Amino acid sequence: MKLTFLGTAAAEGLPAVWCNCAVCRKAKEAGGKEIRTRSQILIDYKLLVDFPMDTYMHMLGDKLDLSKADTVLITHAHMDHCYPQEFVLHGEPFAHGMTEPKITVYGNSTVAETFAKATRAELKPEIAPSVPMKTVKPFEQFKTASGYNVTALPAVHTKGEDCLFYAVEHCGKTALLFNDSGILPDVTYNKMAELGLKFDLVSFDCTYGHAKHGEGRHMGALDADGERDKMKARELVHGGTKYVLTHFSHNCNLSHSELCEIEKDYGFTVAYDGMTVEI
């Protein structure tokens, strides 16, 4: 399985849209890996995890044929993860010669409502069947059109919404992809063990940089370190599991290179826009 981290920033981007802080000014100056767009992962060109407004930029930057993707897994309805307006253009006369005629969007009931609201005015009836929206619940398991086995898991993020993150399995390899989530209760890890999940790659929310945030709706690297211990205790991971940090905010006050320097001692790979990892 080949995972490309197309975007690795928290909601405001890095540099942030309206910000003139030192981190953002330095990032603008430096360019390259210091520039982070909103979070999105592409798996084997088939499956997108989250759909931010920067999807268009990701297509441009990586020269992607996004019409190859047949599945989108949306974690929650926050605007940096869920920009369904773009789906109204998924077909003629807006897109010609598409590789896959259909893309199925999965998400919780709040995402489904957001999808309906955002597409109601402009989604042509002849395009609608090519972008079906399917509602999923925590711990639901399903297979995508191209045969990826997905488990939806409950994130700790927004009250009143069943925020999700996903485990994706294909050809015997499994990636666990947190986007926005705080630390998880033991019951969630116990349930993952009951389901027999074992991860070859885990990517963590790292909004707070190299910090321990504790209870809350995002993590820092030291929270991720604790979550990794919980997974090790339940044999959800193994000696060769890869650990990635993503979804960084400028408020963590660290550049990409500074984060890399710190996190190498913790066995974390610091994601950057365009980074590809294979498992």
* Residue 36 vs 230, nearer CB to Zn ion: 36
* Residue 28 vs 212, nearer CB to Zn ion: 28
Question: Can you tell me the distance from the alpha carbon of 83 to that of 153, in angstroms, rounded to the nearest whole number?
Answer: 21
With CB under 5 A as the contact rule, the residue among 16, 156, 175, 271 that binds Zn ion is 16
Query: Nearest distance from residue 251's CB to Zn ion, in Å?
Result: 7
* Residue 11 vs 57, nearer CB to Zn ion: 11
* Residue 237 vs 248, nearer CB to Zn ion: 248
Query: Nearest distance from residue 19's CB to Zn ion, in Å?
Result: 3
Site for Zn ion in 215-254 (CB under 5 A): 250
Under 8 Å between Cβ of 219 and 206: yes
Site for Zn ion in 18-47 (CB under 5 A): 19, 21, 24
Cis geometry, peptide bond prior to residue 101 (ω within 30 degrees of 0)? no
Question: Can you tell me the distance from the alpha carbon of 218 to that of 206, in angstroms, rounded to the nearest whole number?
Answer: 7
Question: Can you tell me the distance from the alpha carbon of 173 to that of 275, in angstroms, rounded to the nearest whole number?
Answer: 19
With CB under 5 A as the contact rule, the residue among 33, 46, 58, 78 that binds Zn ion is 78
Of the candidate spans 15-23, 40-48, 110-118, 190-198, the one that interacts with Zn ion by CB under 5 A turns out to be 15-23
Does residue 54 bind Zn ion (CB under 5 A)?
no
Does residue 53 bind Zn ion (CB under 5 A)?
no
Under 8 Å between Cβ of 261 and 217: no
Does residue 263 bind Zn ion (CB under 5 A)?
no
Site for Zn ion in 111-150 (CB under 5 A): none
User: Considering CB under 5 A, how many residues would be counted as binding Zn ion?
Assistant: 9
| Single-letter amino acid, residue 89 | L
* Residue 21 vs 30, nearer CB to Zn ion: 21
Question: In 10 A of CB 178, how many CB atoms?
Answer: 26
Q: What is the DSSP string of 6-69?
A: EE-B-TTTBTTTT---HHHHHHHHH-GGG-B-B-EEEETTTEEE-B-TTHHHHHHHTT--GGG-
Site for Zn ion in 178-197 (CB under 5 A): 180
Question: Can you tell me the distance from the alpha carbon of 273 to that of 49, in angstroms, rounded to the nearest whole number?
Answer: 14
Q: Using CB under 5 A as the criterion, which residues of the chain lie in contact with Zn ion when the complex forms?
A: 11, 16, 19, 21, 24, 78, 80, 180, 250
